């Protein structure tokens, strides 16, 4: 793959913590391509509200692309190779998404990122995500890259315990958050989305989260 195709966009970088950085506006130059890629993915694997193991319906609507997709139902949280809604493999990860995630990780100090899963979250007004840790992945040595589009949201960046104090940071259209290393297992969440209309995305926030979810040995 040719990363030279991607000119480095202008950048305002905010370090949140040792392993965590926000690249403000990093995805702006690719916004149309990314949103078209999302449309293409959800045409094959539609957004749906999944159920938590505890029996609650998640307020964010989700889909996935890549080799692995994140799912939750009565039997738990996990990654699957097939979309349980369609029975088909998850749609392939579009190159434009893969390249953007790899270049953001590199820019944030994590070279060699090999994402195999991209979870796409759609937040409608009042949708939220309670504090949680991302720990369904096999390999915590790789970072996580999150792209935000559409309406702004307040995200909560916590500690290693659910009860730790949280830092609140606004994520808005085009922002990319990269976290890894010592911050990989921090608690985090997002507050309820405030209603509004974004000129390109409409009445939603779209978040794409790239992870290396499978085992390193799966590559061999
Ligand atoms: C990780 N999504 O899908 S990503 C998720 O905005 C998820 O849709 C949220 O959490 C979303 O699992 C948040 C951004 C984020 C922010 C802070 C973190 C992830 C973080 C702090 C530590 C670890
Ligand atoms: Fe998370």
Into how many domains does the chain fold? 1
Give residue 10's pLDDT.
56
The pair of structure tokens assigned to 123 is 């937040």
Give residue 129's pLDDT.
97
How much distance in Å is there from the Cα of 63 to the middle of ligand 2?
14
- Atom index in ligand 1 nearest the CA of residue 153 equals 6
Model pTM score: 0.93
Give residue 139's pLDDT.
84
Give residue 1's pLDDT.
45
CB neighbours of residue 161 within 10 Å: 9
- Atom index in ligand 1 nearest the CA of residue 185 equals 23
Give residue 6's pLDDT.
56
Nearest ligand, measured from the Cα of 146: 1
Give residue 2's pLDDT.
44
Tokens 């390249």: give the residue: 99
Q: Are residues 19 and 179 in contact, defined by beta-carbon separation less than 8 angstroms?
A: yes
Beta strands 205-211 and 20-24, pairing class: unpaired
CA distance 153 to 129: 11
Give residue 215's pLDDT.
79
Q: Are residues 114 and 142 in contact, defined by beta-carbon separation less than 8 angstroms?
A: yes
Nearest ligand, measured from the Cα of 62: 1
Domain carrying residue 120: 3-218
CATH number at residue 150: 2.60.120.590
- Atom index in ligand 1 nearest the CA of residue 70 equals 3
CB neighbours of residue 81 within 10 Å: 12
Pocket of ligand 1 (CB under 6 A): 119, 121, 129, 134, 144, 146, 155, 157, 177, 179, 183, 186, 188, 190, 207, 209
CA distance 160 to 183: 8
Nearest ligand, measured from the Cα of 193: 1
CA 145 → CA 44, 93, 103, 115, 127, distances in Å?
Answer: 23, 14, 10, 9, 21
Tokens 């391509």: give the residue: 33
pLDDT in tens, the chain (220 residues): 445 545 566 579 999 999 999 999 999 999 999 999 999 999 999 999 999 999 999 999 999 999 999 999 999 999 999 999 999 999 999 999 999 999 999 999 999 999 999 999 999 999 999 999 999 998 899 999 999 999 999 999 999 999 999 999 999 999 999 999 999 999 999 999 999 999 999 999 999 999 999 975 554 4
Beta strands 61-65 and 76-80, pairing class: unpaired
Tokens 């996580």: give the residue: 144
- Phi first, then psi, for residue 219 (nearest 5°) are -80, -20
Angle at 134 between CA 190 and CA 97, to 5 degrees: 80
């Amino acid at each position: 793959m040719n990363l030279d195709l991607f000119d480095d966009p202008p950048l305002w970088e905010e370090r949140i913590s040792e392993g965590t950085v926000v690249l403000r506006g990093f995805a702006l130059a690719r916004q149309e391509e990314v949103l078209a890629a999302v449309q293409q993915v959800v045409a094959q694997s539609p957004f749906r509200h999944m159920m938590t193991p505890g029996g609650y319906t998640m307020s964010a609507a989700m889909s996935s692309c890549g080799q692995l997709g994140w799912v939750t139902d009565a039997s738990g949280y996990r990654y699957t190779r097939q979309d349980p809604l369609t029975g088909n493999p998850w749609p392939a990860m579009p190159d434009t998404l893969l390249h953007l995630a790899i270049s953001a990780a590199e820019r944030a100090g994590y070279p060699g990122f090999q994402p195999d899963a991209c979870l796409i979250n759609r937040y409608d007004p009042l949708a939220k995500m309670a504090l949680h840790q991302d720990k369904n992945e096999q390999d915590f040595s790789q970072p996580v890259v999150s792209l935000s589009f559409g309406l702004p949201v307040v995200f909560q960046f916590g500690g290693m315990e659910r009860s730790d104090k949280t830092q609140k940071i606004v994520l808005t259209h085009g922002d990319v958050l990269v976290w890894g290393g010592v911050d990989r297992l921090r608690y985090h969440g997002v507050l309820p989305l405030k209603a509004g209309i974004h000129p390109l995305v409409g009445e939603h926030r779209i978040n794409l989260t790239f992870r290396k979810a499978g085992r390193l040995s799966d590559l061999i």
